Each structure stands twice: as structure tokens, then as C-alpha cells.
Amino acid sequence: MSLKISAKTEYACIALMELAIHKNSAEPVHVRNIAERHSVPPRFLVQILLQLKSADIVESTRGAAGGYRLKKRPEEITLGQVMNIIDAPVNSMKRMLNQTANSDAATILGNIWNAAEKCRQDFLNNITFADLILHANKSEQ
């Protein structure tokens, strides 16, 4: 079984990595630059960044010299947090019980799915964007 990540979540994480890399820059990062560098549709990226702005993760500056920057430090933003903002988590138990008769087997499996989801969420909540930038810097060497 593989972890299913939406394109929207992946693009959000790519954008946040770019913003984290440029966190000390005096200039905000332009959407166009992120979009071109990573082959992300600019209009889709704007929607994602607006969603992250609503969640207080990024801030924007308007105008020709405008763009986006992190509102929080990379150490304060986790993959799990971003995934939950972009693609709200689905309650596995509820999903399963909607598709299966309410039985002992369904309840047992629902509990297992919930435990697996909690492990996934705990794992992703322990990976910050500072960790990702550190990893990216190591791979470039």
C-alpha cells in the first residue's frame, strides 16, 4: 500500500520548501518563479498559496514586487500540518462503516485503519520544513 498524496498537497509542499529556502531574502518569492522552477500551473499555485495564507502559514505582498514568504519559521511547519490544511483528513472508520455493514469485522478493521492513520499523522507531524531543507542541502553536496 502506498501513501496517496494529492497533487495539490505536493504543490503546497514544493511551494513551502521554496519559501523556506528563501526565508532570509529581503524580497518575497514570486508565484511565477515557483511555478516555472517546478512546472506547477501558476493559477493552481495561487489557489494553494491563498489556502496556506488563510491558515496563517504564509503571507503575501501585493504589487509588481510582491509575492509570498513564510509567516512562520520552517521549524514550526510540519508536513502533517500542511497535508491537513490542504486535504483535510478522512475519518477511516466513518468511511469504512459507510461502505460495510456494521459488524465485528468492520469494527476491528476500522480500528486498525484508524491506528494506521494515527501512525501516519504522527510521522508526518514530526517532519518540519527545516528538516526538508536540511535534507535537500545534503543531497546537493
| 111 within a domain of the structure (yes/no) | no
Residue 113 has pLDDT above 80, yes or no: yes
| DSSP of 40-90 | --HHHHHHHHHHHHHTTSEEEE-STT-EEEESS-GGG-BHHHHHHHHSPPP
pLDDT score at 92: 40
| 117 within a domain of the structure (yes/no) | no
**Beta-carbon count within 10 A of 113 CB:** 16
| 106 within a domain of the structure (yes/no) | no
| 62 within a domain of the structure (yes/no) | yes
77 or 137: whose pLDDT is higher? 77
> CA-to-CA distance for 133 and 114, rounded, in angstroms?
30
**pLDDT per residue as tens digits for the range 2-60:** 677 899 999 999 999 999 999 999 899 999 999 999 999 999 999 999 999 999 999 99
| 52 within a domain of the structure (yes/no) | yes
| 1 within a domain of the structure (yes/no) | no
Residue 23 DSSP SS3? coil
Cβ 3 vs Cβ 120: under 8 Å: yes
104 or 128: whose pLDDT is higher? 128
pLDDT score at 125: 96
| 28 within a domain of the structure (yes/no) | yes
> CA-to-CA distance for 81 and 76, rounded, in angstroms?
10
| 97 within a domain of the structure (yes/no) | no
Ramachandran region, residue 5 (left: φ > 0; alpha: ψ -120 to 50; beta: rest) = beta
Dihedral Cα 19, 21, 23, 25, nearest 10 deg: -110
**pLDDT per residue as tens digits for the range 83-97:** 999 987 654 445 544
Residue 67 has pLDDT above 90, yes or no: yes
- pTM to 2 decimal places: 0.84
- Domain of residue 81: give its range: 7-88+129-140
Residue 98 has pLDDT above 70, yes or no: no
> CA-to-CA distance for 17 and 55, rounded, in angstroms?
17
Domain count, the chain: 1
Provide the CATH number for the domain around residue 23: 1.10.10.10
